[in-house]
Each structure stands twice: as C-alpha cells, then as structure tokens.
Structure 1
C-alpha cells in the first residue's frame, strides 16, 4: 500500500517476532490511534526461538515453529496497531556463539549491501517520516540479529533518499528522523522498586544493574498513558515465546504496571535536534509540513 500524501508514517525495524511487543509497542499503539500509518519491518522469522511456555513445549510445536511464530507475529501486530508487517526474509541467527550462527541464510551472514537494499526498498515504498531501530550499544545484549538491525538501518536511512542509489528500488525518499529504542536504567530501577514495595521478589538481578547505562543519551520520552496494555497483550500473543506466568513481564498487578514509567524512551540518532529536551513526540517539527502536503 502506497501512503497517501500528507499522512504521517512510522516505520519500526525489529530483529525477531516478539521484539515489536517488548520494545516500543505502547508508542506504536498511541500513534496508530492518532491516525499515523504504522509499519513493522521484521528482519527474521525467529526460527531459533526457545519455547518458553511450558504448556506449548512439545516436539510437534518445535517442528513447525517458524510457521507458528509467523502466526503469532500477525496476532501481535494486530493487537499493537500495526497497519502492515513486512518480512525482510532472513533466517534467525540464534544467540551469539550458537551453531545457528553458521547457517548460510541467517541474518548475521547476509550480504550487508543486499540487506540494506531490501530495507531501502521498504522505506521508499512506505515513505516514513520517522524510523525506529536499535542502537549500536545494546547494553550488553549483543544478539547477532539485533546488531545487524542497527548495521542495516543507518545506511538504509541515508541511501533511501539518494536518487543515484538503486533507482530500481523506487522513487527516492528521505526520512526526517531515525531513533533508537531502549529500556532505560530508570525504567528498570522503577520496576525493581515496585516489586520490592509490594514485597515481591524482583526479576531484576545484579546483571541488570551492571549493564552500562545509556540514560544520558535519551532525547525523547513519548507519553504512553493508556497504551501500556499494548505491550502486555502483544507479548501474550507470542504464546510460544512468552511464559504467561513470567514474573519479568507479568509479575506486577496491572494497575501498578500501567502506572510505572508511563512513557517510552528514545535516542534521536539522525535528524534535527529539538530545541528543548526531552521532546515528547517522535514527529515533533514534522506535523505542520505533513499537513501542508495534504492541503
């Protein structure tokens, strides 16, 4: 679907099915509710995912995991509010150091220029003003596919508007902004404290607090009051990958979950820096221009 002139578009780039639920789902839900067109690029099929739901941990499920994860992704995307899901077509690379890293079709082994060109094609077709992706510094979680998402997103952002680059991929389009999504140290501390205040065992062990903090890089905090459930329901849609009894995701009462850190954190990596920080809107400075295009 080609976007209509003047309509804002948000495009997010994720590594695996379920990443779209755990990272920024409330933001997507909010913008979808506002009428922003929302597009998800999922780079792999999640074939190497571990079945974490004990009720579904059966050989028959593992044998058709790729098919199941595609179905789960479709359900999660609908719950969150994505208008379209685009599969970039690569195989899950597995965790760092695993045998899956050697598979010739895995994302980590993909030719970088080819992978970038696939993403450029998507950008030119959907014409987003804003792209959300992963940072280079991923706080100690260096999954090969997450690293690769960053590696292709930056050059794709830059090449999509270059008329001399692969004209066969469509009319050039220059997105205005590129953001990194992250879970801030402050969010982790607030959740950890909430568990303690309720007399519950916190799932946040020392590892979480030894990870390097990038909070000082945060430029943008998008208020997502009323949209926190998009993350919860999106995660539950990935039934094989998420244990519904997981204290990490579901250990807090719903009313507490909705009150903690009611905004999503981002780092503006490309685009004009806002006059005041933190900005509260990924489309700050872009809405008037888009409205003018439709007028």
Structure 2
C-alpha cells in the first residue's frame, strides 16, 4: 500500500491503553504502522489501586501529574504517539443510590461538542482504523461509555463539513474501520482458566467465571483475533508503568507468560463499522485496507 497505515486507539484514562489492545499496538508499531493513543481524561479521580502506593501523600496530592508521567513512560515502552483530549475524569460513582457525577466532568459533556475534539485529532492524524469501547464501555464506567459515544460520533463527524466545519476543525477525513476492544471475553478467560488448572496452577479467573454465570448480557460478537503473543511482555511493561493503577504482584500477572503465549496468543476486537470489504473472521485490523 502506498499510503502510510495509521491506527488510532481512543481510551478513557491513562492506563486503559496498556490494559486493552497494548500488544496489538506494539505489534503494529513494529511493522511500521503509525499508532496514536487518544486519551480522553487525565485520570484525576482514579483511585490508587496499587497497595504499595496507597497512603503516599505526594501521590495522593499530585495524582494528575503522577498519572501523566506514568502515561509518558507507557507511551515510550509501546512506541506510540499519544494525545490528551483534555477532559476531566468523572470518577466511578459508588453507593445506592449512586451519587451525581461531578460538575464539569467528561461524562456530563455534550456528546457532539466533546466529539469535536476527537474530530479535530482524527482529521489531523488521518487514521484508517479507530479502536474504542462498545456501547457498554467494556464495563459501565461513565467515562468509558462517554468514550464510546464520542468515538462513534467522530467516526462519521470527521467527514462531515456541516457538523464540524473545515475552517474550524481542519480538512475532512473518513476512517475506514471502527473496532471495539473485546480482550476480556469469556472464551479467552475460560481457556486460560482451564489451562492453569490442567497444569496444577492456581487460576485468578474463578470469580470472573462465577460472575459471568449471573451476567444476563449476551457475549459480544468477536470478529477479529490479532496474533500478538510476541508482544505480551511489552504490554505488561507498559501496564506496570502505570504504577498507581496496577500491582505488579497482583492478579493481572498471575498467568505465566508461556501459558498465555501458548494458549491464547491473540487480542480480540469486534468490527463495528467498515467502509471496505473484508471477510470475517479477521486476523488484521487493516484487512481490506492494505490492498485497497
């Protein structure tokens, strides 16, 4: 293909890019694809999940700056470019009834106006492929759901001069494919769980599978398995760089690398929109684009 391939991954918070599709991005970077992570918020209201950093007064006081530095380190590890959309983290409301979302936060923005910031970035970067979350956000965090909303709006809006005038948002551009990250799927979880038990090892997925039994939502339609097992170690290094969000001794890393690479060496996606012909299932996000 004569034109440079470009992939944009739209995420809600710093660390999401390293837990969802990171090995895929590292693989494409290694192949010469330009990859840009669009991070919607600064993660200002995120909890400190790593017990080793909980109670650290500097981290608690300067969480925004700390998470920005973590993102810088993860970006370098993955070899991607990264841009902030500049919205404020909404936090994850908890309780019954749920408290109202904070004034001015990302999830309370007007969808069309917020999508304009992403339209501007899409028109500047000109990706053929965009990845984001499904309409449920992958899980029901208000920022993840809002990320889906603005990504869906911007996919078409980037080529709409009436909604987003070229004079204000730059030259028109139409991405060709839109994908939803589906890495946390039942088939993968069951395969890794069974493989661990067969090897006499403890599985961190027991509770996940029990929750799935009561989950009424149907499984997603996974269309695309990207082979990227050789990049799982880069993925893990990028995730560990987000030190406030991940415990390197926690459940994320309890499955031996060799088991992951043998049993499930792919990352999964759901093709939501395609303006090019492609055959399902796929093993490449650029299927139908490379030779078009």
Paired position in structure 1 for 2:274: 271
What is the rounded CA distance, in whole Å, between the counterparts of 2:136 and 2:12 in structure 1? 15
CA deviation vs aligned residue, 1:52-104 (integer Å, no higher than 9, x gap)? 2222221221111110001101111211221x211111111111347885322
Size of the aligned set, in residue pairs, is 281
Paired position in structure 2 for 1:169: 169
What is the rounded CA distance, in whole Å, between the counterparts of 2:42 and 2:278 in structure 1? 40
Matches within 5 A, 1:3-22: 6-22=3-19
Ranges in structure 2 where 5+ consecutive residues have no aligned partner: none
Between 1:121-130 and 1:47-56, the stretch displaced more is 47-56
Ranges in structure 1 where 5+ consecutive residues have no aligned partner: 290-295
SS of residue in 2 equivalent to 1:102: coil
What is the rounded CA distance, in whole Å, between the counterparts of 2:199 and 2:276 in structure 1? 40
Instruction: Identify if the C-alpha distance between structure 1 residues 143 and 128 changes in structure 2 by more than 3 Å, giving closer, same or farther.
Output: same
**Alpha-carbon distance, 1:288 to partner:** 2.6
Preserved contact between residue 48 and residue 100 of structure 1 (Cα < 8 Å): no
Paired position in structure 2 for 1:203: 204
Paired position in structure 1 for 2:43: 46
Paired position in structure 2 for 1:292: none
CA deviation vs aligned residue, 1:181-231 (integer Å, no higher than 9, x gap)? 11221111112223323333322211144443424x111111113111122
Length-normalised TM-score, structure 2: 0.90
Preserved contact between residue 108 and residue 145 of structure 1 (Cα < 8 Å): yes
1:26 to 1, 23, 26: 23
SS of residue in 2 equivalent to 1:17: coil
Paired position in structure 1 for 2:237: 233
What is the rounded CA distance, in whole Å, between the counterparts of 1:177 and 1:6 in structure 2? 16
Matches within 5 A, 1:210-225: 210-211=214-215, 212-215=217-220, 217-225=221-229
What is the rounded CA distance, in whole Å, between the counterparts of 1:60 and 1:197 in structure 2? 44
Instruction: Identify if the C-alpha distance between structure 1 residues 161 and 31 changes in structure 2 by more than 3 Å, giving closer, same or farther.
Output: same
What is the rounded CA distance, in whole Å, between the counterparts of 2:25 and 2:31 in structure 1? 10
Matches within 5 A, 1:119-130: 119-130=118-129
Paired position in structure 2 for 1:71: 69
**Alpha-carbon distance, 1:151 to partner:** 0.7
What is the rounded CA distance, in whole Å, between the counterparts of 1:191 and 1:269 in structure 2? 26
Paired position in structure 2 for 1:92: 89
CA deviation vs aligned residue, 1:214-267 (integer Å, no higher than 9, x gap)? 24x1111111131111221111111111011102x1112222232231111111
What is the rounded CA distance, in whole Å, between the counterparts of 2:188 and 2:214 in structure 1? 15
What is the rounded CA distance, in whole Å, between the counterparts of 1:88 and 1:121 in structure 2? 10
RMSD across aligned C-alpha pairs, in angstroms?
A: 1.9
What is the rounded CA distance, in whole Å, between the counterparts of 2:195 and 2:286 in structure 1? 32
Paired position in structure 1 for 2:149: 151
Preserved contact between residue 93 and residue 101 of structure 2 (Cα < 8 Å): no
What is the rounded CA distance, in whole Å, between the counterparts of 1:81 and 1:121 in structure 2? 23
Between 1:72-81 and 1:188-197, the stretch displaced more is 188-197
Length-normalised TM-score, structure 1: 0.89
Instruction: Identify if the C-alpha distance between structure 1 residues 101 and 22 changes in structure 2 by more than 3 Å, giving closer, same or farther.
Output: farther
